[in-house]
């Protein structure tokens, strides 16, 4: 069985960073105690890990929609681009090509005794969830991605109601 390599440098000498994540809103009738943070692997390596913790108060299924919007950094301002995608909440764990492995691997590192569900599946039951040290594989980023630096905005909605929203700064860089 082949595993993905999570390294800051790819064969094409590209680095990928996710920094400064922030939750801008969370509806406390759906989710509470939302915590998101980013940290470096070490001082000499630029790779950042994301930690996400939250408590679900209701079961989450594909009635919840995840929306992703990419903004490009131009002249010290973030401008919305044509890149956006939407998926059902459960599709993140089953069919999404970019985030599936990252989320599943992070959840499986949490001790079974501390998980609300033994295996991450849909619908997600109410309870406290922890996703530590998530890192995006360079293999998951499309080779022809058109932007080097920007911000990824995320919204989670349920039947028109905003459940949670936030953003994370991203950077793709060719290294000499």
pTM value > 0.85 = no
Residue 114 has pLDDT above 80, yes or no: yes
Residue 4 forms part of a structural domain: no
First to last CA, the chain: 32
Q: Domain range spanning residue 135? A: 14-171
Give me 89's structure tokens.
């909440």
Q: What is the CATH number of the domain that holds 64?
A: 2.60.40
CA–CA distance, 75 with 79 (Å, rounded to integer)? 9
What's the distance, CA 102 to chain centroid? 8
Residue 2 forms part of a structural domain: no
Burial 83-118 (b: 16+ CB within 10 A, else e): beeebbbbbbbeebeebebbbbbbbeeeeeeebeee
Residue 45 forms part of a structural domain: yes
pLDDT in tens, 130-166: 888 887 655 555 666 677 788 989 999 999 899 999 9
Total number of domains in the chain: 1
């Amino acid at each position: 069985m082949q595993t993905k390599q999570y390294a800051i440098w790819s064969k094409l000498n590209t680095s990928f960073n996710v920094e400064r994540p922030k939750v801008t809103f969370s509806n406390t009738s759906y989710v509470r105690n939302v915590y998101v943070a980013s940290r470096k692997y070490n001082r000499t390596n630029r790779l950042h890990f994301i930690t996400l913790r939250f408590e679900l108060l209701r079961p989450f299924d594909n009635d919840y929609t995840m929306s992703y919007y990419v903004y490009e950094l131009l002249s010290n301002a973030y401008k919305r681009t044509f890149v956006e995608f939407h998926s059902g909440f459960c599709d993140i764990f089953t069919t999404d090509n970019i985030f599936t492995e990252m989320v599943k691997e992070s959840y499986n590192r949490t001790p079974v005794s501390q998980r609300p569900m033994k295996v991450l599946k849909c619908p997600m039951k109410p309870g406290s969830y922890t996703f530590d040290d998530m890192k995006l594989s360079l293999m998951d980023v499309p080779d022809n991605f058109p932007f080097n630096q920007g911000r990824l905005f995320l919204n989670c909605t349920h039947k028109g109601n905003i459940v949670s929203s936030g953003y994370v700064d991203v950077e793709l860089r060719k290294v000499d």
